[in-house]
Amino acid sequence: MPQAVVFDLDGVLLDSEQRWNEAKEALVRETGGSWRDDAPAAMMGMSSAEWSAYLRDVLGVPMDGEAINREVVRRMEEGYAHGLPLLPGASEAVRALAARWPLALASSSNREIIDLALRVAGFEDLFRVTISSDEVAHGKPAPDVYLEAARRLPADPARCVAVEDSPAGVSAAIAAGVGAVYGVRTTHPAPELVAAGAGEVYPDLTGVAAALGIGR
């Protein structure tokens, strides 16, 4: 039996990866930078400091990193105010799993976005621990967010379950020694998640919940 379940946010609970990419692309183009088709893949898993530097140094946004971060976050907050893009089955799975195990969130999103999303979704009281990659030394695929989540729970990483949607996230959980890593193929195809180390891959969180015995 696991000690805890640790979720990613974007692409696992929220259909938000495209929203992040659109906000970043819009800022790049509006400020005279040069957007690249491979930018979303390059930024996958980066902390806000890391992707802000990428927008500045690689894509040519003529602003300092803190200003870039603030502007992208503002656009995301504005979008979430008009509706939170919860993925199918997310609410039911989170509530069912929280009734059985402690939950943690290990996300590359900014603290402001994590708190806003959980508040709007009504998940604030369901997660014992939430970690932003801004609060550790390195973003995914480094293991930092998972190690910190396990430390704060507290739980043995080897007895935790992680739920991820990207190869970078799966790699982060594997590097942290998480005992079981489930993938959801909301943003990346199953073969990419399996190649990164995911043990099982499901269409959404309904499948993950069932694999953990919810609904049986």
Which residues are marked as active site? 8, 10
Phi, psi of 5 (to 5 degrees): -120, 130
Q: Where are the alpha helices (H) located in the chain, listed in sequence order?
A: 17-30, 39-43, 48-57, 65-81, 90-98, 111-121, 144-152, 167-175, 190-196, 205-211
Q: How far apart are CA 22 and CA 85, in angstroms?
A: 14
Q: Quick check: 186 and 165 in contact, CB under 8 A?
A: yes
Q: Output the CA–CA distances (angstroms, integers) from residue 203 to 20, 71, 87, in the order listed.
A: 21, 32, 11
